[in-house]
Chains A and B, each alone.
Chain A
């Protein structure tokens, strides 16, 4: 039984870490601020939830699991507010989103990198 729980924790932590890694890649690869916000959203949602689920498997039905659940709920309630504040601030400041698709990193959009 312990072995199954350990394997479950391992899988959860690995999937969560994978999404954190993809978030990092996305933050580097996407062309402008608005698309990078989307990449950051992955770390806030699924990665947090899965990692906390994996940790809750180790603690079982205790108060620690309740606290982990609280952490997930608070992150889920606050992160969209912070994301909205960031996007709204960029929009009000007049930063135009690039809507022409993505031409690859070789294009060197030098002006866009200065904005964020």
Chain B
């Protein structure tokens, strides 16, 4: 099942990237996708972690929410660049990740890093060490809003 969906995803990416729809080129595409799928099967890398597409449509709404957060955070960091005396309050603190599996923790930690103003410094067991640039950015992570949303999309899988 995973093998089959990997094949079709690879084929879709090939078709979108190539843009030349002659039988020869599409044939090459099908052939190379088949080879990749066979190698992936032999290497046994197609486990649950490497396959995130079964998270469902909730992932998309999460991405939209995350993008809005990124825009807001960019504005905060830009303010901080121009007025460091007023806004720059670096802090180091740890938060708990409530996700059960590793994939959820990685999504949460990467989301923290992706938002400017907060960077994941260390991830151990279920404790995430975060470096925050401003008090506002630090409070945003401590409030646990992002943590709840990630747990929400992971609960479906």
> Interface of A with B (CB < 8 Å)?
19, 22, 25-26, 29-32, 34-35, 37-39, 41-42, 44-46, 49, 63, 66-67, 70, 76-77, 79-81, 83-84, 87-88, 91, 97-99, 101-102, 104
Contacts and interface: CB of A to CB of B under 8 A. Distances in A.
Interface of B: 13, 16-17, 19, 67, 70-71, 74, 77-78, 80-82, 84-85, 88-92, 109-111, 113-123, 129, 131, 133
Secondary structure call for the A interface? helix
Contacts of B129: 91
Contacts of A83: 113, 119
Contacts of B120: 80, 84, 87
Given A19-B78, A70-B17, 16 more contacts: A22-B82, A26-B80, A38-B117, A41-B117, A42-B74, A42-B78, A42-B116, A45-B116, A76-B114, A77-B110, A80-B111, A84-B109, A99-B90, A101-B88, A102-B88, A104-B85
Given A41-B116, A80-B114, A99-B90, A25 B121 contact: no
A87 B121 contact: yes
A37 B45 CA distance: 32
